[in-house]
Amino acid sequence: MSDQSPYPLLETIDTPEQLRRLPTSELPKLAAELRRYLIHSVARTGGHLSAGLGTVELTIALHYVYDTPEDRLIWDVGHQSYPHKILTGRREQMATLRQRGGLSGFPKRSESPYDSFGTGHSSTSISAALGMAIAARREGSSRRIVAIIGDGAMTGGMAFEALNHAGHLKSNLLVILNDNEMSISPNVGGMHNYLARILSSKLYTTMRDGSKNVLSIAPPVWELARKAEEHMKGMVTPGTLFEELGFNYIGPIDGHDLDTLVTTLKNLRERDEPQFLHIVTRKGKGFPPAEKNPTCYHGVTAFDPETGAIYPRSAPPSYTHLFGEWICEIAEQDERLVGITPAMCEGSGLVEFSQRFPQRYFDVGIAEQHAVTLAAGMACDGLKPVVAIYSTFLQRAYDQLIHDVALQDLPVLFAIDRAGLVGPDGPTHAGSFDLSFLRCIPNLVIMAPADGNELRRMLYTGYLLDGPAAVRYPRGSGPEVPIDPEMKELPVGKGQLCREGRRVALLAFGSMVAPALQAAEELDASVVNMRFIKPLDAPLVLDMATHHELLVTIEENVIAGGAGSAVNECLHHHGVRIPVLNLGLPDRFVEQGRHDELLAQCGLDAAGIVEAVRNHLDQ
């Protein structure tokens, strides 16, 4: 190893076992090197930065104290896990992060034995950890289970369901709350760090358990002692809720103080009951641009690691941006409009709306079920809710979508972002299934725009309906088209013939219209922008079937149950027999990569469409 290396200590650590051989005095130096390495790695590839910078010390302490991978660490969500990846044999692979064939941006069981559970969606760690703790108990194993959950993920109801169950079962489990939304205030300092060491220590535990045994013969005295302890801890810690759920609460402590972290974790590892450790960290720690603006550097493209300047990328306005403009425009006209999002203000394009209409903006946290039923309640009493949500997160509110919105035929508009493949974020965030799981729901109108101008028209059309509607659109930008400042409603259930050709008709949905038009030039095919998945334009489908030898449906959704299936059902219902080729996403999870790479891999670019059609015609 060269003496000139900027990471002399980090480069000696390829496994946590090597980390555990270091004296504790070396850990702060390792933390500094790990933080620098993380900054320079993400600067090259892009990815999630702020959260990982806040968990450097915690990651080192966990792998230092726990016997990983035999002991299980579950990161919730995976945004925090980049330091974990670096310390678990994947340092040299960080240059491939979020690229095709490279490291995933999230923990992934197939990637490393140190990734105990895949966590691309939040609020799942405590449930998974409890399941592992139950399995360990049944095996008679002494392995320890730790769930590390961010304060954002704690807004998800599933986390509290799991806490309640874990406390009831008295499971051997440690939950670490990584609280990074507040600064390290004076009450998270020397006194609290000292109390954490005392309350987690073996001496305190022995005295506590011994007193419990002695006083249990006199229940009123024991209850008095229990309440005295609870009130004493309550005066200096905010953990009453977790104590009531059956956890022994410790904290809050400084999550950047390695000495306190290591000592506290060592104490907690020796205990066999539900433990809850509250640490306070700072997002973006050690990188001033990210500390100043952690949201900007939460998920970031390539940037200058010295200055933090994000390298510019020229592109037409994204669908997300156009949605944000549209909702502000309609809010100016209609005071009934309210915007709802489950913790995706920036990602869903609602920043300007939240600033201009703060009383009509509702970020409910990572609580998708609540977001949808909240909208239903608003719609019952005359408001016009617009729910801005990613396709992959709408999956988590499926019952509410059916039972609370569609069954009651309430006028809720769903603006579904990130529909289809999402490139570097990979299968955890891909919106591959929404057309399939939405299409079977009665009362719901479903639309997919071919470009940004059509997005605006569809949102407006859905907003004017007296029942539920969904507009699904992809990540990034569509074809460059002029944006009509005048809002025009679309006729519901009507498609558009874009090109007349021979033999073959390409029935394209949403983002697939552009590659279909390119393919049609080579095939001399007709192209239909179907616009509506439900209700389907049956007369147009039947007309295409009458005048062509082959119908080809193209969608950026799984083939099973998707838009192509709607066309198949339409033809069958009308007794029309014609060859149909359904093109869409395959029956497997599509891994990460650039969006154009993945479309080509799935045969959904122009060349893939041409090849599939010609192969079918040649059969």
Predicted local confidence at residue 224, as pLDDT? 52
Contacts of 317 (CB under 8 A, 6+ apart): 325, 452, 477, 483
pLDDT category at 187 given cuts 50, 70, 90 is: very low
Of 396, 418, 472, 531, which one is the catalytic site residue?
A: 396
* Eight-class DSSP state of 552: E
Tens of pLDDT, residues 28-67: 999 999 999 999 999 999 999 999 999 999 999 999 999 9
Q: Quick check: 200 pLDDT over 60?
A: no
What's the token pair of residue 304? 């200058």
Of 191-195, 254-258, 278-282, 490-494, the range with the lowest mean pLDDT is 191-195
Predicted local confidence at residue 1, as pLDDT? 43
User: Which one, of 466, 443, 447, lies nearest residue 457 by Cα?
Assistant: 447
**Is 368 one of the catalytic residues?**
yes
Q: Quick check: 527 pLDDT over 70?
A: yes
Q: Quick check: 194 pLDDT over 70?
A: no
Contacts of 574 (CB under 8 A, 6+ apart): 538, 542
Q: Could you give the percent of the chain with pLDDT greater than 90?
A: 82
Q: What mean pLDDT do residues 372-388 have?
A: 98
Residue found by looking up tokens 């990584």 in the block = 178
* Range ranked top by mean pLDDT from 76-80, 197-201, 271-275: 271-275
**Is 335 one of the catalytic residues?**
no
Dihedral sign for Cα atoms in the order 191, 192, 194, 195:
positive
**Is 396 one of the catalytic residues?**
yes
pLDDT category at 294 given cuts 50, 70, 90 is: confident
pLDDT category at 298 given cuts 50, 70, 90 is: confident
Predicted local confidence at residue 412, as pLDDT? 98
- Burial tier of 493 (Cβ tally within 10 Å: 0-12, 13-18, 19+): middle
pLDDT category at 192 given cuts 50, 70, 90 is: very low
pLDDT category at 185 given cuts 50, 70, 90 is: very low
Q: What mean pLDDT do residues 483-499 have?
A: 95
User: Which one, of 205, 229, 67, lies nearest residue 146 by Cα?
Assistant: 67
For residue 94, the SS3 value is: helix
Let me know: does 183 contact 252? Beta carbons within 8 Å.
no
Predicted local confidence at residue 188, as pLDDT? 42
Q: Quick check: 614 pLDDT over 90?
A: yes
Tens of pLDDT, residues 324-343: 999 999 999 999 999 999 99
Predicted local confidence at residue 239, as pLDDT? 74
* Eight-class DSSP state of 87: I
Of 85, 90, 282, 283, which one is the catalytic site residue?
A: 283
Predicted local confidence at residue 197, as pLDDT? 55
DSSP class per residue in 189-206 = SHHHHHHHHHHHSHHHHH
pLDDT category at 126 given cuts 50, 70, 90 is: very high
pLDDT category at 152 given cuts 50, 70, 90 is: confident
Of 98, 282, 285, 368, which one is the catalytic site residue?
A: 368
Q: Quick check: 428 pLDDT over 50?
A: yes
Beta partners for 554? 508, 583
Q: Could you give the percent of the chain with pLDDT greater than 70?
A: 90
* Mean residue pLDDT across the chain: 91
Q: What mean pLDDT do residues 343-366 have?
A: 95
